Amino acid sequence: MMRVPDSASVTFRTFVEGMRAPVIMQILPALNSGGVEQGVIDINAAIVRAGGHSIVVSSGGRKVEKISEAGGVHITMPINSKNPFVIIANISRLRKIIRDYNVDIVHACSRAPAWSASRAVQGTFAKYVTSCHAAHKITGPLKRLYNSSIAKGERVIAVSHFLADYLEQNYNTSPDKIRIIHRGLPIENFHPNSVTPERMIKLAQQWRVPDGASVIILPGRISRIKGHMFLVDALQKLVQKDVFCLFVGSDIGNERYRKELENYIDSRGLSGSVRIVTNCDDMPAAYMLATVVATPSLVPEGFGRIAIEAQAMGRPVIATDHGGSRETILRDTTGWLVPPGDVYALSEAINEAMSLDARQRAVLATRAMSHVIQHFTNEQMCAGTLDVYAELLESTAVRALPSNDGFRADIRHRITG
Mean pLDDT of 314-319: 98
Q: What is the dihedral of CA 159, 165, 166, 170, to 10 degrees?
A: 140
The residue that leads in pLDDT, 401 or 238, is 238
Mean pLDDT of 57-83: 94
What is the predicted pLDDT for the residue at 395? 65
Alpha-carbon gap, residue 88 to 69, rounded angstroms: 31
Mean pLDDT of 389-417: 59
Mean pLDDT of 257-272: 96
Lowest mean pLDDT, pick from 18-27, 92-101, 337-346, 359-368: 18-27
Examine the pLDDT at 416 and tell me if it is beyond 50.
no
Alpha-carbon gap, residue 129 to 117, rounded angstroms: 10
List the 335-338 sheet strands across, edge first. Answer: 274-277, 243-248, 214-219, 292-295, 317-320, 335-338
Examine the pLDDT at 385 and tell me if it is beyond 90.
yes
Which residue in 79, 73, 6 sits closest to 406, CA to CA? 73
Half-sphere exposure for 201 (CA within 13 Å, toward CB): 3
Examine the pLDDT at 10 and tell me if it is beyond 50.
no
Domains of the chain, CATH where assigned: 12-184+377-416 (3.40.50.2000), 192-375 (3.40.50.2000)
Residues in Cβ contact with 114 at an 8 Å cutoff, skipping those fewer than 6 apart: 27, 108, 130, 149, 150, 152
Mean pLDDT of 340-368: 97
Alpha-carbon gap, residue 377 to 334, rounded angstroms: 16
Examine the pLDDT at 405 and tell me if it is beyond 70.
no
What is the predicted pLDDT for the residue at 17? 62
What is the predicted pLDDT for the residue at 206? 94
Examine the pLDDT at 46 and tell me if it is beyond 50.
yes
The answer to whether the Cα torsion of 273, 279, 204, 317 is positive or negative is: positive
Mean pLDDT of the chain, nearest integer: 90
Q: What is the pLDDT of residues 131-185, one digit of tens each?
A: 999 999 898 999 999 999 999 999 999 999 999 999 999 999 999 999 999 999 9
